[in-house]
């Protein structure tokens, strides 16, 4: 998705050209993510759609900053992380992406947890 790639590019550019961003470490963003999630939760509870969208974007930005930092450290590539989570979703929902069936949401959760347990 073009917008996603542009976000990652902007975060990388920020790391290169902004002294504040350049000094940040992964551990600096963990409390920020928690704070943003609390703000997201409040916006949701208040049915504040506009603020909810903004806070969700802030959570995404902080998570992607962490991913950019992890990539810089050589832990993984962002595209690998995205591919891995996509494969996990497909693998754990064979009733969506395969030919299994589930009766209801409780059955879907039970099946997800069974597959997850098999993977561990």
Query: What is residue 111's predicted lDDT score, i.e. its pLDDT?
Result: 97
Residue 27: pLDDT band (50, 70, 90) is very high
Burial of 3 (0-12, 13-18, 19+ CB in 10 A): exposed
Q: What is the pLDDT of residue 1?
A: 82
**Delimiting residues of CATH 1.10.287.1080 domain(s) in the chain:** 1-75
Q: Exposed, middle or buried, 15 (CB in 10 Å: 0-12/13-18/19+)?
A: middle
Largest CA distance in the chain: 54
Secondary structure element (H or E) that encloses residue 99, with its range: none
The reported pLDDT for the residue numbered 50 is: 94
* Joined tokens for residue 60: 């995404």
Query: 58-86 pLDDT, tens per residue?
Result: 999 999 999 999 999 999 999 999 999 99
pTM here?
A: 0.87
Q: Using the predicted structure, report yes or no on whether residue 28 has a pLDDT greater than 90.
A: yes
For domain 1-75, the CATH superfamily is MazG-like (1.10.287.1080)
Q: What is the pLDDT of residue 32?
A: 95
CA 106 to the chain's CA centroid: 24
Mean pLDDT of the chain: 96
Instruction: Please give the backbone phi and psi of residue 56, each rounded to the nearest 5 degrees, phi first.
Output: -65, -40
- Taking residues 92-107, report their average pLDDT: 97
**Contact status, residue 64 vs residue 14, Cβ threshold 8 Å:** no
pLDDT band of 120, cuts 50, 70, 90: confident
């Amino acid at each position: 998705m073009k917008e996603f790639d542009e976000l990652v590019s902007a975060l990388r550019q920020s790391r290169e050209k902004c002294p504040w961003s350049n000094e940040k470490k992964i551990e600096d963003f963990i409390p920020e993510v928690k704070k943003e999630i609390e703000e997201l939760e409040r916006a949701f509870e208040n049915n504040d759609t506009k603020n909810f969208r903004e806070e969700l974007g802030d959570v995404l930005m902080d998570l992607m900053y962490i991913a950019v930092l992890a990539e810089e450290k050589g832990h993984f590539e962002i595209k690998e992380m995205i591919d891995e989570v996509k494969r996990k979703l497909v693998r754990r929902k064979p009733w969506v992406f395969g030919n299994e069936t589930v009766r209801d949401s409780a059955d879907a959760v039970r099946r997800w947890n069974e597959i997850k347990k098999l993977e561990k």
